Amino acid sequence: MTTMTLEAGMPQTIGEAFAHIGTVTMPTALDIKVMILVEAASRELYRATAAGSDNPAVAGLLVENGDEEFLHAVRAAAALKALTGEDFTPPSADANPYLAGGAFPIGELTPAALRKLAQTEFDGETLYEGWAANVGNAEAAALFRANGKEETDHGNRLLQAAALLEG
């Protein structure tokens, strides 16, 4: 499959995309598209991290988070559609420009790293709540809030995984 081309103004790497998204309080259509790409990519990031675990319970928690991250991409696409009427389908891993060439960050599989990642997931709820409050569309706001609630679930799963690694 052909890799999707990034639109003008989009961050060029997944690291830049994560940094950009963290600064957005009133999302534009372009910001939502970046979020769709990031959330879709996050499924693969979690899967790759899970593959590095020899603990099936830890791997299962990571895969569950990843599967929900893709659902977040689908919801963000629905929010974009509600706001603009534009269709923007979350890409598969092989079409996602933020995963191009297989070069993407794989999370370190230590209790400390999982706790740090958990905090970024908890921050995701705050981010999505801000978007929901500022977007001016009830349907899009509900979709963003659903994503935010699950970000907290992700953080809790990561804390559980950290505890499992500590034995």
Task: Give residue 42's pLDDT.
Answer: 95
Task: Give residue 100's pLDDT.
Answer: 86
Task: Give residue 2's pLDDT.
Answer: 83
Q: What distance in Å separates the CA atoms of residue 3 and residue 62, rounded to the nearest whole number?
A: 25
Number of H helices and E strands in the chain, helices first, is 5, 0
CA-based nearest residue to 155, from 134, 132, 126, 130: 126
> Averaged over 58-80, what is the pLDDT?
97
> What is the number of other CB atoms lying within 10 angstroms of the CB of residue 94?
12
As given in the structure block, the two tokens for residue 39 are 């959330």
Segment 45-66, tens digit of pLDDT: 999 999 999 999 999 999 999 9
> What is the number of other CB atoms lying within 10 angstroms of the CB of residue 40?
26
CA-based nearest residue to 80, from 42, 126, 41, 33: 33
Segment 88-127, tens digit of pLDDT: 999 999 999 999 876 666 767 999 999 999 999 999 999 9
Task: Give residue 107's pLDDT.
Answer: 66
Task: Give residue 3's pLDDT.
Answer: 84
Task: Give residue 38's pLDDT.
Answer: 97
Segment 11-28, tens digit of pLDDT: 999 989 999 999 999 999
Report which residue type is found at 167.
Answer: G
